[in-house]
Amino acid sequence: MTSPELPRAVFDLFKEAVAKHISRSFSISIEVAFAGVDIGKRGHDFTIAVPRFRLKQAPVELVSKAVDEASFVSDEYLEEIIADGTFLHYYCRTTTLTRLVLEQVYDLSTPSPSIPSGRYGTNNSGAGKKVVIEFGSPNIAKPFHLGHLRSTLLGTFLSNLFVANGWQVVRMNYLGDWGKQFGLLAVGFDRYGSEEALSQNAIMHLFNVYVAINQDHTAEKAAGERSPTDILARNFFQKMEHGDPSALALWQRFRDLSIRKYEDVYQRLNVRYDVYGEESRVDRKRIKTVIEDLRAQGLLTSKTEADLKRGKVVRNPQKDFPVSSTGSNQLGLAVDLEKWDLGKPVVEKDDGTSIYITRDVAEAMQRFDEYHFDKMIYVVGDQQTFYMAQVFKILSLLNFPAADRLEHVSFGKVERMSTRDGEVKFLEEILDEAKEAMRTQMESNAEKLSRIEDKNYTADQVGMTCVKIQDMQAKNGSLGPKVFVFLGYMGMYKFNAKSMTSFEGNTGAYLQYAHVRLCSIERKVAPDVVLPPSPSLINTSLLVEPKAREIVFLIATYPEVVKASFKNYEPSTIVGFCFNLSHLISSAWETLVVKDQEIELAKARLFLFVCARKVLATAMRLLSLIPLEKM
């Protein structure tokens, strides 16, 4: 959690200076004035659109009043004001801005265990509030696919972002380790499994088994009424639900092997969880209570073959694309949500076994008892938008006290991801391909390559940065207040190791390179230019070039960028900032030379680059990247 002594962002001090002046000249409150201070465009530091205050006096008159000598006196914060029609532009005093921003960045950027991405840019707006963020949530014994990757990356980013905004965060992985698919897998293992293959690569083998058994199932279904494979699978799952020891032992084995594998992947991805929730552990008693409560409220009905035959296409009520509602082809006890256009989700199957949605409802209650969260976010792909809306509706019908604290953060679907077809690209294959692409690039420069200590690690990190950046660049569109949809790659995920890992254009490789280059200037100018122990000993007023000021101003805005990104949960806002900063720095190398300069000037410029590097690294860490020092 952010500690209370976090100083105010320097940027806010300047904004406040503008707000004070506006407040005095227009006789409005500082708060109202503050909310009207925008970051300027085309080289203006701040801009005020005067009409927005809707005051009695004409905006042009107010503008001329504000720029009047009697009203505006330049001081250590503000240097100049300019009238521009109904707009006012303000300019910060460069020397003050530069000194304060760089000192604050320097002080606050060191990563700490509580805020690993560094404290610069963080704020206390969420102090005292707790959020549970559920993300990733792969299905045990099924492969971790790109949909899970998106959820994992987005969830990790959101966790970091909430921490940066002062919240206490519980990172949760809700493993899909229960359900009929386990029955199917067990039947499949009996038919196609091999102990040897299982011990070599459990996930891959279980995946192959899963695909094979699904093909049987599909073929049987096409041929006749009930699939024998399906009956066997149901029987097996029933045994699991009734605690049959041999069924549970097999389940436990598949599960343990899968979890072990997932943990390796999380480590590789720089992702961590605070807790593992599991579908298998949802309290049975609570599931029963949920059913009883629904019954008591007269909300239960039974879903029959006739209902299924009606074959209504279920559509996402908020947007016109079809969604599969999980369990839509089930028979059993259902909740009638037709009134809300949410179909009739089955909550208990006709054989009495529990079902995904009922577990989710009971699990939400369990989590609230345990964490008393102020907010809970489910990061789940948009194929489950309709499903999540059903879960939320059932919870509110049951008067769940935290029903209005739930949010579904969703993202565009990843095509060709059906596990049943077996046309999946494994996450590890993708990471390995990206790594190989990076290695090939690195090998083309023998001299550079020789300087890198751990070539394998470096290629892997850069490759992974490329995959993550590609994913998090996607823009996010909002579907109503509680549903955020990441529209990037909607319907398609183009995986192209070559373009993704290029050093040109806005790729992860480019970002890592920008960071590495910043690190290397420190090494190159040492030992002639070394920074003093305290930043106050550096003469930052020597940084007079417009490029230097541009860099200072951009890094001064970082705390605002963090807040903006928090408003709509957009990783692309942070990604955009990283690229802007990297491009700006790369355009400054020729004007802000450090080598062979007068020593005080060299130190000041080096200090500027060091601070820029710290901010870039902080923003990269927020995105779960590990900034590299050499590559």
List, by residue number, the catalytic residues: 142, 145, 148
Give the one residue of 120, 157, 174, 569 binding ligand ARG; rule: CB under 6 A.
174
Asked whether the beta carbons of 556 and 604 are under 8 A apart, the reply is no
Q: Which residue number, 138 or 345, has a Cβ lying nearer to ligand ARG?
A: 138
The CA distance from 24 to 33, in Å, is 10
> What percent helix, strand, coil does the chain show, rounded to 5?
55, 10, 35
Residue 135 backbone dihedrals phi, psi, to 5 degrees: -150, 165
CA dihedral angle for residue 413, residue 201, residue 234, residue 292, rounded to 10 degrees: -60
Number of residues that bind ligand ARG (CB under 6 A): 9
| By the rule CB under 6 A, 407 interacts with ligand ARG | no
Give the one residue of 104, 122, 137, 465 binding ligand ARG; rule: CB under 6 A.
137
CA 309 to chain centre: 40
Give the one residue of 206, 250, 335, 380 binding ligand ARG; rule: CB under 6 A.
380
Burial class of residue 238 in the structure, from the number of CB atoms within 10 Å of its CB (0-12 exposed, 13-18 middle, 19+ buried): middle
Q: Report the nearest approach of ligand ARG to the CB of residue 360 (Å).
A: 5
Please identify, among the stretches 9-17, 132-140, 475-483, 541-549, the one whose residues bind ligand ARG according to the rule CB under 6 A. 132-140
CA dihedral angle for residue 586, residue 589, residue 591, residue 592, rounded to 10 degrees: 120
| By the rule CB under 6 A, 237 interacts with ligand ARG | no
Q: Which residue number, 179 or 463, has a Cβ lying nearer to ligand ARG?
A: 179
Phi/psi region, residue 607 (left: phi>0; alpha: psi -120 to 50; beta: rest), is alpha
| By the rule CB under 6 A, 282 interacts with ligand ARG | no
Quick note: the x/- pattern for ligand ARG over 439-478, rule CB under 6 A, is: ----------------------------------------
Q: Report the nearest approach of ligand ARG to the CB of residue 138 (Å).
A: 6
Give the one residue of 45, 278, 360, 471 binding ligand ARG; rule: CB under 6 A.
360
Q: Choose among 384, 375, 385: nearest CA to 478.
A: 385
Amino acid identity at 301: T
Q: Which residue number, 360 or 433, has a Cβ lying nearer to ligand ARG?
A: 360
The CA distance from 549 to 7, in Å, is 22
Asked whether the beta carbons of 568 and 154 are under 8 A apart, the reply is no
Q: Report the nearest approach of ligand ARG to the CB of residue 49 (Å).
A: 43
Q: Report the nearest approach of ligand ARG to the CB of residue 148 (Å).
A: 6
Please identify, among the stretches 92-100, 130-138, 217-225, 511-519, the one whose residues bind ligand ARG according to the rule CB under 6 A. 130-138
Please identify, among the stretches 18-26, 65-73, 133-141, 162-170, the one whose residues bind ligand ARG according to the rule CB under 6 A. 133-141
Amino acid identity at 230: D
The residue of the chain with the least Cβ separation from ligand ARG equals 176
Bridge partners, residue 38, by sequence = 47
Name residues contacting ligand ARG, limited to 504-523 (CB under 6 A).
none
Q: Report the nearest approach of ligand ARG to the CB of residue 176 (Å).
A: 3
Q: Report the nearest approach of ligand ARG to the CB of residue 410 (Å).
A: 11
The CA distance from 38 to 598, in Å, is 38
Give the one residue of 176, 412, 463, 627 binding ligand ARG; rule: CB under 6 A.
176
Q: What SS3 state is found at 465?
A: helix
Under DSSP, the state recorded for 177 is -
Which spans of this chain sit near ligand ARG (rule: CB under 6 A)? Answer: 134, 137-139, 174, 176, 360, 378, 380
